[in-house]
Amino acid sequence: MYPKLLHGLDEGKRFLSLRGSPDPDGPSEQDRARSLELFGEPLSLEESVRRILEDVRRDGAPAALRYSRILDGLDSPDLEVPQEERDRAAASVDRSLIDALKFSARRVKEYHRATLPKSWVDHERGLGERVVPMDTVGVYAPGGSASYPSTVIMTVVPARVAGVENVILCTPSATPAVMAAAAIAGVDRVFRIGGVQAIGAMAYGAGAVPKVNMVCGPGNAFVTLAKKMVYGEVAIDGLYGPTETVLVADGAANPVHCAADLLAQAEHDPLASPILITDSPAMADDVRREVERQLPGLERRDVAVNSLANGGRVILVDNLSQAMELANFAAPEHLCLMVEDPWRWAEEARNAGGLFLGTHSPEVVGDYVAGPSHVMPTGGTARFSSALGVRQFLKTMPVVGLKAHGFEEMARAASIIARREGFTAHARAMEIRLENGREASADE
């Protein structure tokens, strides 16, 4: 029966400790075969990614086009999707999807507007801070066998709300749905390019692809490694691994809803982690039975079964305090509280990418329309990082504009510290001003 049942806090922590980091474990046989085809030798994932990035840095667009043909089967002579093609594709999308994407974009915009930090200045103290958006951001939307218009909304709209002037989109799946989302979200330019070569093109610039200030968006293990390697050349939003949900449920929760939420997570990826933590033995049994009942109706049943078997668990603990301790230990991408008075237990949540409270706030609503971006930290990185939002697209610039009043005290303190550190010129820069101030006073 799926998912496997574990008992107690210690057993739960042992299982959760085995979860992988955003870095991939190693190349599959398919990956080795592909690197042999590309480079004439069976390279590791890291070596393959580094080789592609080096080629794109050196050769620009020709290298990006070459890898796109080989790896993604894209045969376009140009990287950029012309505006006319984008418009035609978007116009072919059915009205219901357009309306849904607009609804999503509106909610995402409203949410992120409420989170915008503001510049401030205290003229009396001569201090302040300017909040300045980045100039150019590159968004990556994964593709291949599927396309994700929701990811376009969830990455581009926060960037636009932050005030980013230029937003480009790289995706191997320039489908009508993705083009419609790009138009609704406000993408300036679209490039039909995926994988490592897309990250390299945005980080270094490649022909028509401009060099950006920041690369953001989720992707597979290759994309994650590429983002890690270009960090420092550009900013990145984070390193994302397989998706994960921890669902905390008490005896009053609806097992049908709990099972449906676990399966929604499981169908993402064989490496996804759908985890239920409960203090109710009856709930643990009911949810596992309900998962078995709902499984046969899924189009992606095989993916869900692998996920449930590998990363899925039901963990039975003594009480909800232990459940929350375990949830904080996991620091999951999504933490869902299916308990009585979820707002009370929300106070106990310290580590989670996103917090979803009650039966009417399933994680799936966050994937598409709730408002916060669905790009959230994975692999336990919610211990120190946050969901994608306007702040990642902003720089803060401290402002110092002091007045004469009070300067003497600051100058003396600065001079003392500078001399102790051996920086004579630093000290003199202060002392000269003190001397000039005394001379000016004497002249008066």
Work out whether strand 127-133 and strand 120-122 pair parallel, antiparallel, or are unpaired. antiparallel
Q: Indicate if the pLDDT at residue 144 is higher than 90.
A: no
User: Is residue 367 located within the same domain as residue 292?
Assistant: yes
Considering the chain, what is the average pLDDT of its residues?
A: 93
**Model confidence, pTM:** 0.91
Neighbours of 203 (CB within 10 A): 26
112, 257, 334, 374: which is the annotated catalytic residue?
334
For 398, phi then psi, to 5°, come to -60, 145
With cut-offs at 50, 70 and 90, classify the pLDDT of residue 288: very high
User: Is residue 57 located within the same domain as residue 195?
Assistant: no
292 lies in a domain?
A: yes
User: Is residue 109 located within the same domain as residue 191?
Assistant: yes
Per-residue pLDDT tens digits for 342-391: 999 999 999 999 999 999 999 999 999 999 999 999 999 999 999 999 99
Q: Is 334 one of the annotated active-site residues of the chain?
A: yes
Joined tokens for residue 201: 């093109």
User: Is residue 99 located within the same domain as residue 225?
Assistant: yes
Q: Indicate if the pLDDT at residue 332 is higher than 80.
A: yes
The Cα angle at residue 147 between residues 143 and 149, in degrees rounded to 5: 125
Q: Indicate if the pLDDT at residue 443 is higher than 80.
A: no
Q: Which residue has the higher pLDDT, 87 or 37?
A: 87
Give the DSSP letter of residue 42: -
pLDDT of residue 38: 77
Collapsing DSSP to helix, strand or coil, 355 comes out as strand
122 lies in a domain?
A: yes
Distance CA 317, CA 339 (A): 14
Per-residue pLDDT tens digits for 190-245: 999 999 999 999 999 999 999 999 999 999 999 999 999 999 999 999 999 999 99
User: Is residue 229 located within the same domain as residue 262?
Assistant: no
109 lies in a domain?
A: yes
User: Is residue 274 located within the same domain as residue 411?
Assistant: no
> How do the residues of the chain divide into helix, strand and coil, expressed in percent and rounded to 5?
50, 15, 35
Distance CA 133, CA 212 (A): 13
CA distances 137 to 14, 43, 71, 167, 436, Å, are 40, 31, 25, 5, 47
User: Is residue 87 located within the same domain as residue 234?
Assistant: yes
391 lies in a domain?
A: no
User: Is residue 266 located within the same domain as residue 305?
Assistant: yes
Per-residue pLDDT tens digits for 243-286: 999 999 999 999 999 999 999 999 999 999 999 999 999 999 99
**Residue 187's domain spans which residues?**
83-238
Distance CA 434, CA 417 (A): 16
Helical H runs in 248-386?
255-266, 281-294, 301-310, 320-330, 342-346, 363-368
Q: How many domains in the chain?
A: 4
pLDDT of residue 70: 87
388 lies in a domain?
A: no
334 lies in a domain?
A: yes
Residue written as token pair 């399933």: 362
333, 347, 360, 374: which is the annotated catalytic residue?
333
Q: Is 112 one of the annotated active-site residues of the chain?
A: no
User: Is residue 15 located within the same domain as residue 36?
Assistant: no
CATH number of the domain enclosing 129: 3.40.50.1980
User: Is residue 228 located within the same domain as residue 286?
Assistant: no
Per-residue pLDDT tens digits for 156-189: 999 999 999 999 999 998 999 999 999 999 999 9
